[in-house]
Structure 1
Amino acid sequence: MGNIEQCLQEQSFAVVPIRGTSMWPLLKAGKSQVQVAACDGMQFRKGDIVLYRRKDGTLVLHRIIKAEEGRFLVCGDHQWKLEEEIQEEQILAVAQGFFRNGRFIDEKTWWYRLYKKFWNGNLTVRRCCLSFLRLSGLEKRSMK
């Protein structure tokens, strides 16, 4: 069992470092961490960031785009195609908030709720925004 799973079992929460770019622009590799909580018996909703185990054993942190009776379509914030379908049993934890620049941001803050609603509202809008960021050069500058 990994450190994250051990923390979830012993303390009911863990702080997970971000690797890769799939959750950009909200979360940045090496600069952001997510606080996740064990989720026994929890109801998951569209917009929740969940930590789940893929069938190959990899732990992944992505956002729920669509929820249907124990099945969920998930996708990273830096993607515009639904990545995969997961089952409720694969979900280990759900995000409570995140650390950016050393500061904790609760997932209930008004600007985060606005971001979540806008970013999850329509994958076509997301694709346009990501294309704009890529063309403007902001994507490369912020990932350094």
Structure 2
Amino acid sequence: MRNAHQVDTEEYLKAVSALIAEGREVTVPVRGGSMNPFLADNRDCVLLVPVPERLRRGDIVLFRRSSGQYVLHRIVAVRRSRPGGHEPVYFMRGDAQEMTEGPVARAQVRALAARVMRQGRWLTDRDLRVLFFRHLWCRRYFPRRAALAVYRLVRRITADRTADNLQDSR
């Protein structure tokens, strides 16, 4: 059995952020449930790349909150920092969340998730799941609350059936 080491997530993401600032690309596992149902904790990965010139609504980015915490969320809106200002600010939200966070300054954005590995397979930009979450899920008018309720119900039913099947096989 291999020796397992516990790594502090904040320190790990700080090191990842430094590598990306050097122009490198880094694949990292998704931690936490804020990006469900698209990305799952300890199941999926993202390829983080340096921040491009322009970020768009629907992009998944790694940013650093003013508290110092690193977060992987989706951009749901892009605005000017102030009337007549040229620097954009971003409004973020995890796919499993209802609250929007922002404004987030461009300087707080550390990386763009250029690709997503879901259930062990890299998804293309033309994958229907990618298109759905990029273009529809982050829209204000999309019925997220109802969709999340259905998603959670299906997960609960599936988990119950899995538990029943495990008991039956014993």
Map 1:75-86 to 2 at 5 A: 75-86=93-104
Match of 1:60 in 2: 71
Shift of residue 99 of structure 1? 1.0
Match of 2:56 among 2, 22, 45: 45
Change beyond 3 A, Cα 1:67–1:101 = same
- Taking only aligned residues, the RMSD between alpha carbons, in angstroms, comes to 2.2
Match of 2:89 in 1: 71
Structure 2 regions of 5+ residues with no counterpart?
Answer: 1-10, 81-87, 160-170
Aligned-partner Cα distance in 2 for 1:90–1:52: 5
TM-score normalised by length of structure 1: 0.85
Shift of residue 140 of structure 1? 7.8
Match of 2:111 in 1: 93
- Summarize deviations over 1:81-133 as a string: whole Å, max 9, x none: 21332111100111111112221113x12411133212112355111101222
Richer in strand (by share): 1
Which consecutive aligned stretches of 4+ in structure 1 deviate over 3 angstroms post-superposition?
139-142
Match of 2:25 among 13, 21, 28: 13
Percentage identity across paired residues of the two chains: 28
TM-score normalised by length of structure 2: 0.73
Structure 1 regions of 5+ residues with no counterpart?
Answer: none
- Summarize deviations over 1:58-88 as a string: whole Å, max 9, x none: 1110001110121111000001221332111
Aligned-partner Cα distance in 1 for 2:69–2:158: 28
Contact 2:58/2:133, CA 8 A, preserved across alignment? no
Aligned-partner Cα distance in 1 for 2:48–2:156: 26
